[in-house]
Chains A and B, each alone.
Chain A
Amino acid sequence: MADTPEAIKKSVRTYLFVGGILFLGTIITVLVATVPALDVGGHGFDAWDCVLGLTIATIKASLVAFIFMHLNHEKKAVYWLFGSGLCMVCSLGFLTALAIFDPIKDIFFYSGR
């Protein structure tokens, strides 16, 4: 983390730059969702819009986490703590996917395959 006055002054410029990217990312997400000419995939909301929207959101969130929250140069303990939380969320996502793609509901299951 930036601790010396010089390093802090330097990182202020980075914060401004990241802020700008976050604004830009938001504008792109909104334009893609609302302007038909910029719509990716098919017309209206579809999987491609979802992928694009969430990718931009993930990039924005990563910038906030790595730059504003200083995760780009933190101590090991922080990575362990935050990482374990993220792992739990991923497990939750996996459980959700299990529930949705339940093999019992699969038509192949009934047809004896």
Chain B
Amino acid sequence: MEIPYVVTPRKDTGLFNSKIAIWLFLASEVMLFGGFFSAYVFLRLGADYPWPERTLPVLPGLINTFVLIGSSVTVVFAWASLKLRNWRNFQIYMGITVFCAVIFMVFKGIEYNVKFQHQALRLKDYTVIEGHLGYEKEGEEYVLDHNDKKIEENLIFIETSKLTFNTVRFHKPWVDELLTQAEHHKSKIVLAADVTAITEEGKPSTVIAKAGEQLSNMLLEKIQKEHLAARSHNGGERTEALRGEWVKAKAENPGKKGWQIASTVNIDVAALTPKLLTEISSVAFNVEPPVRFDFYPRDVKEADGQSRLRDDTVIDGKLLESPMVFHHVDAIDFQHLVMKAKVKGIDPIVAIESSWLIKNSPFAKEAWEWHKGEVAKLEKELLDGYGLGKDNKPKRVPTHKEMYRIGWKDLGKKAESEGNVKLSFMDTTKEEFFGPNYDARGDETFPGFSVPREQVGFAAKFTPAWNTYYALYFTMTGLHGLHVVGGALVLAYYLFFGRKMYLENPEWLANRVEIGGLFWHFVDLVWIFVFPIFYLM
């Protein structure tokens, strides 16, 4: 069957099929991205933390903008070449367009990777530390997880004497992990007491598991099975008993409404109890002898005495020193602390200088003293350059970020001013893409620092978990990246498989390329807004 209007336009709309389809699609895309931009404005204006202004590396973003603009020009050239029936030129321009898409995604990949590696930590007093964590070692060897990946020095250590599992929610891989760790420390996890239960109505209780039995997923599953069977049976019995009571109450109070007699309807507990089976909602195991277990911070809510895993396993034991160890600190940010201090009417400088970090880190103190000097210099520079306003106040003053954030570039400048390090052009350029260069600048610029667990407020990599800015950044640039990949695949299809259609019906291929091009221009159009909003504002 011949499909109408693939080349010639319909009389009523004046458009061929795919053109009307792409514009419908683009209209829906405008609404999709428009919704995200609205969300951005909403979240930025309502943020209860200092919004990360101009925080992304501009150079990769700028290059990507050039790349997309360039590709927008080449894709329209590719279409024009087809219209002029010049296949060779079409191939060249379309090839450049697809190559631009690859470059764009490579830069985006680098940018994402840097964010995924970079650690942020908000202390309990709202000071923010940024940098890279070290890796756990045993002797000279790195400790590896089950995927053979190095484990960051951010574990929580608990000298565990007892583990109480929730028999419904226990997470099997964690049970295996606990067993592995116990074996590593030559300890055993054994049932603390006999698990006895009535498993059949009217029968005496039986022993399901004996004290001293070793922990295993099989054992927990066996107890879980009995628990779930008992829970189901007891639920049925309770419903039946309640139904009986209702029938009785209705018979005794004819003509009365349900709500009038509801308060008098109660289950006869004494009559029901013998019919019930034993529910075993939790089961305790002793760790013999007590040993240190290591937990990822995301999995455990730690406390001295009793901690709790996310699957409701209760850990009895002493919380050991579990510092978060930064091998390199590359930024110290007091903006959030100052914001909180101002709300309380505390002078920002007083708040910063009495913060935990300044009191406990000589490096932070030194950096802060140096930074104050830099801010004073900037203040003078702005005053000399722009003078005073009509209200006798300086026309221009340092920003909140300039005053209260010591970024990695500031720390680099400090080290350079002290003559500690001088970077080559290549190293400096590399930093624009990959962030602070620890190897080139060394430990003096970005020293290590240990943060005791009790000072840790919230920690995350620079991922959507860190704050709403990064959540939106990843959502929007990720969605845009998917559009780039999708668009590039379609354009690459025309490039590599379009020859046959070109020979049979060149106008049809030109129309298809025009449609692909329209989508590609839209991708560029979205980036035109994403770049200034996320990178420059």
Contacts and interface: CB of A to CB of B under 8 A. Distances in A.
Interface of A: 2-3, 5, 8-9, 11-12, 15-16, 18-19, 22-23, 26, 29-30, 33-34, 42-45, 49-50, 53-54, 56-57, 60-61, 64-65, 68-69, 75-78, 81-82, 84-86, 88-89, 92-93, 95-96, 99-100
B84 A9 contact: yes
B27 A82 contact: yes
B440 interface: no
B374 to A, nearest CB: 14
B38 A92 contact: yes
Given A43-B396, A45-B537, A75-B13, A3 B30 contact: no
A29 B535 CA distance: 11
Contacts, number: 156
Nearest to B85: A5
Interface string B15-52: 10001100110111111001101100110011000000
Interface in B81-117: 83-84
5 contacts: A19-B72, A23-B66, A45-B537, A68-B72, A93-B41
Interface of B: 9, 13-15, 19-20, 23-24, 26-31, 34-35, 37-38, 41-42, 45-46, 53-54, 58, 62, 65-66, 69-70, 72-73, 76-77, 80, 83-84, 382, 386, 395-399, 401-402, 517-518, 521-522, 524-525, 528-529, 531-533, 536-537
Contacts of A100: 41-42, 45-46
**Among B23, B386, B398: residue with most chain A CB under 10 A:** B23
Given A12-B80, A26-B62, A92-B35, A85 B15 contact: no
Nearest to B536: A33
Given A33-B54, A60-B528, A77-B15, A15 B38 contact: no
Nearest to B519: A69
Nearest to A37: B385
Chain B interface helix/strand/loop/mixed: helix
A50 B533 CA distance: 8
A84 B30 CA distance: 10
B34 A82 contact: no
Contact of A57 (B30, B35, B80, B529): B529
A8 B14 contact: no
Contact of B522 (A2, A12, A69, A77): A69
Contacts of A82: 23, 26-27, 30
A64 B68 CA distance: 11
A20 to B, nearest CB: 9
Nearest to B518: A69
A21 to B, nearest CB: 10
Contacts of A92: 31, 34-35, 38
